[in-house]
Chains A and B, each alone.
Chain A
């Protein structure tokens, strides 16, 4: 099978699983949980691109997830409240007479929808320009990302009156006219999330196999070397970083109708690390690995913390460290190992002749 055929087959199977098998097998509650996991999977696909292919350990994707989530939730809260009314929490905590100016544009659904993706991408662009031009990378990049996630969560908590503080934006009831308490509409949300995941996988697939994808790997493995070929690696990394931020934003936006809440606890340091764990487990440099890893880890978290809540934290730590130390390619590398074993055709003969300049010359 050519890689192209294999990829199309993979997309086909994924589509059948997402659109037929899961809705048939799972009840409303489980399907709702899966919708949440798929949101994490969308974040993971972006991290796979930035980290697996671009070498940027994006440990602060919560920022972009949060920007997308809050943008969506702000609009939905305003829509729930109805024209001219303040969202419920503002009247509860604050002495606000009017909507804060930065809430106003989110009354417009088009603006809000665009903002869920474009706002994180713009922030990532500005951050990335600062970070990559200054050649911040490796552990410094990871720590800086973490610090940003922490700062963003603290900022949100501090502005209780206008952001909902620690509680976040909760109790979201409607989604563009659809009642989210209705199980039928919740299924619709699941399908929207599934379509979004497939679309992000498609975009990432094309990016990975394009010339840009090859260049990104080159930058990952030899950032300095790439400069001597006439490229500015900062720009190459910037593209992957911004795309990953856009995906995290989209995931955050879909998370809000799927789960009904966005809050600082969902976007800070810990969730930002959790996004990366699934990617590490699944295999950061592969296409499907990060998504599958994210779903598996999120599922394991639900299953395990239902039974022994305290054990999860330790298990999670192990999940993060073990693949990085012992299986850098994640579970995906096991799959491709098996595939290579099976296709154990003899390797192409190496041309051991030295380079001849012109035939007959020298």
Chain B
């Protein structure tokens, strides 16, 4: 089985069930959007897949079991994520951020040397996310949208095959959204992408498949049209002026 496979996933915080038995199959190459009201458990789902919170059930990616592994081991299996609020290393430059993301497999001794040239994958990712011109600028000085792209660039050089993006276009302008959407299409050509998103317009344009979560459970799943037609979805989420 290739792609992401989640079965009966549960996450409980001090008795509060944040994710209560989620089943999810995201085949390789899919662009899956996960939507749902605030507090539905979307971020927690990604946290569980990436090892940040303790969970029960089964999570596998490309046949490898993920649950119980440490965060950095899961990352090494080719699973990358971004965060709801962009998490870049603000005191490092764009280039340094990307170089670090490209580097976990470097030999310890080689880390003691200075970077002599820019690794090809870093150069390429900088081009892709249009940050070449600001490569020597501190990441903390970037505009909000640029930080999000830097994070996506970090996933590219990290060579992640499963991308988990938590609200990547939140706070972006319309043109930034369009560009990010195009970028998603490009990324998905040889990767599996899971996007948590609130923006319905963005979803309609770029989602291939959609999973709707509500109160820690999967409420509905299918293509954009199927999900929008689902009365239960309209009731909890899309109801207000969405269709």
Within 8 A of A (CB), among B179-218: 179-180, 182-183, 185-186
In the complex the two chains form, is B75's CB within 8 Å of A355's CB? Answer: no
- Does chain A have a CB within 8 A of B92? yes
In the complex the two chains form, is B134's CB within 8 Å of A350's CB? Answer: yes
> Which A residues are in CB contact (< 8 Å) with B75?
227-230
Q: Out of B83, B99, B112, B137, name the residue touching A348 (CB < 8 Å).
A: B137
| Distance between Cα atoms of A232 and B89 in the complex (Å) | 16
- Does chain B have a CB within 8 A of A356? yes
Within 8 A of B (CB), among A205-241: 206-207, 209-212, 214-215, 217-218, 221-222, 224-232
> Which B residues are in CB contact (< 8 Å) with A225?
83, 87, 89
- Does chain B have a CB within 8 A of A97? no
| Distance between Cα atoms of A232 and B75 in the complex (Å) | 11
Of A225, A228, A232, A362, most buried by chain B (CB within 10 Å of CB) is A228
In the complex the two chains form, is B186's CB within 8 Å of A357's CB? Answer: yes
- Does chain A have a CB within 8 A of B71? yes
- Does chain A have a CB within 8 A of B91? yes
In the complex the two chains form, is A231's CB within 8 Å of B128's CB? Answer: no
Q: Interface size bucket, B side? A: 35 or more
In the complex the two chains form, is A215's CB within 8 Å of B100's CB? Answer: yes
> Which B residues are in CB contact (< 8 Å) with A211?
99-100, 103, 106, 110-115
In the complex the two chains form, is B113's CB within 8 Å of A210's CB? Answer: yes
The smallest beta-carbon distance between B40 and chain A, in angstroms, is 22
Given A211-B103, A227-B71, is A361 in contact with B87 using a C-beta cutoff of 8 Å? no
- Does chain A have a CB within 8 A of B81? yes
Given A207-B112, A230-B75, is A354 in contact with B89 using a C-beta cutoff of 8 Å? no
- Does chain A have a CB within 8 A of B131? yes
Within 8 A of A (CB), among B87-105: 87, 89-92, 96-97, 99-101, 103-105
Q: Out of B89, B110, B136, name the residue touching A222 (CB < 8 Å).
A: B89
In the complex the two chains form, is A210's CB within 8 Å of B114's CB? Answer: yes
- Chain B residues near A (Cβ < 8 Å): 50, 52, 70-72, 75-76, 80-81, 83, 87, 89-92, 96-97, 99-101, 103-106, 110-115, 128-134, 136-137, 142-143, 145-146, 149, 154, 158, 175-176, 178-180, 182-183, 185-186
In the complex the two chains form, is A231's CB within 8 Å of B72's CB? Answer: yes
Within 8 A of B (CB), among A303-362: 347-358, 361-362
In the complex the two chains form, is B130's CB within 8 Å of A356's CB? Answer: yes
In the complex the two chains form, is A355's CB within 8 Å of B72's CB? Answer: no
> Which B residues are in CB contact (< 8 Å) with A352?
143
Given A211-B106, A211-B115, A225-B87, is A354 in contact with B176 using a C-beta cutoff of 8 Å? yes
18 further A-B pairs in the complex, CB-CB below 8 A; given A211-B110, A228-B71, A350-B134: A209-B114, A211-B112, A214-B99, A217-B92, A224-B52, A227-B70, A227-B71, A227-B72, A228-B75, A229-B154, A230-B76, A350-B137, A351-B132, A353-B130, A354-B145, A354-B180, A355-B179, A356-B179
> Which B residues are in CB contact (< 8 Å) with A206?
112, 114
> Which A residues are in CB contact (< 8 Å) with B142?
350
The smallest beta-carbon distance between B118 and chain A, in angstroms, is 12
Q: Out of A215, A349, A355, name the residue touching B103 (CB < 8 Å).
A: A215
Of B76, B99, B100, most buried by chain A (CB within 10 Å of CB) is B100
The smallest beta-carbon distance between A128 and chain B, in angstroms, is 15
Chosen A-B contacts, 16 in total, with CB atoms closer than 8 Å, are: A211-B106, A211-B111, A212-B111, A217-B91, A222-B89, A227-B72, A228-B71, A351-B132, A355-B131, A355-B179, A355-B183, A356-B182, A357-B128, A357-B183, A357-B186, A358-B186
In the complex the two chains form, is A355's CB within 8 Å of B130's CB? Answer: yes
> Which A residues are in CB contact (< 8 Å) with B101?
229
In the complex the two chains form, is A355's CB within 8 Å of B128's CB? Answer: yes
In the complex the two chains form, is B103's CB within 8 Å of A221's CB? Answer: no
The smallest beta-carbon distance between B68 and chain A, in angstroms, is 15
Q: Out of A210, A214, A231, A361, name the residue touching B92 (CB < 8 Å).
A: A214
The smallest beta-carbon distance between A108 and chain B, in angstroms, is 30
In the complex the two chains form, is A217's CB within 8 Å of B133's CB? Answer: no
> Which A residues are in CB contact (< 8 Å) with B92?
214, 217-218, 221
> Which A residues are in CB contact (< 8 Å) with B180?
354-355
Could you give, for residues 269-281 of chain A, a 1 whenever the CB lies within 8 Å of some chain B CB and a 0 otherwise?
0000000000000
| Distance between Cα atoms of A176 and B185 in the complex (Å) | 71
The smallest beta-carbon distance between B115 and chain A, in angstroms, is 6
| Distance between Cα atoms of A68 and B133 in the complex (Å) | 49
Q: Out of A214, A347, A353, name the residue touching B100 (CB < 8 Å).
A: A214
> Which A residues are in CB contact (< 8 Å) with B136?
348
Within 8 A of B (CB), among A83-118: none
Using CB atoms, name the residue of chain B closest to A234.
B72
The smallest beta-carbon distance between A340 and chain B, in angstroms, is 12
The smallest beta-carbon distance between B123 and chain A, in angstroms, is 15
| Distance between Cα atoms of A211 and B136 in the complex (Å) | 15
The smallest beta-carbon distance between B5 and chain A, in angstroms, is 21
| Distance between Cα atoms of A207 and B182 in the complex (Å) | 40
| Distance between Cα atoms of A356 and B132 in the complex (Å) | 12
> Which A residues are in CB contact (< 8 Å) with B145?
354
> Which A residues are in CB contact (< 8 Å) with B103?
211, 215, 229
In the complex the two chains form, is A212's CB within 8 Å of B112's CB? Answer: yes
Of A226, A232, A352, A357, most buried by chain B (CB within 10 Å of CB) is A357
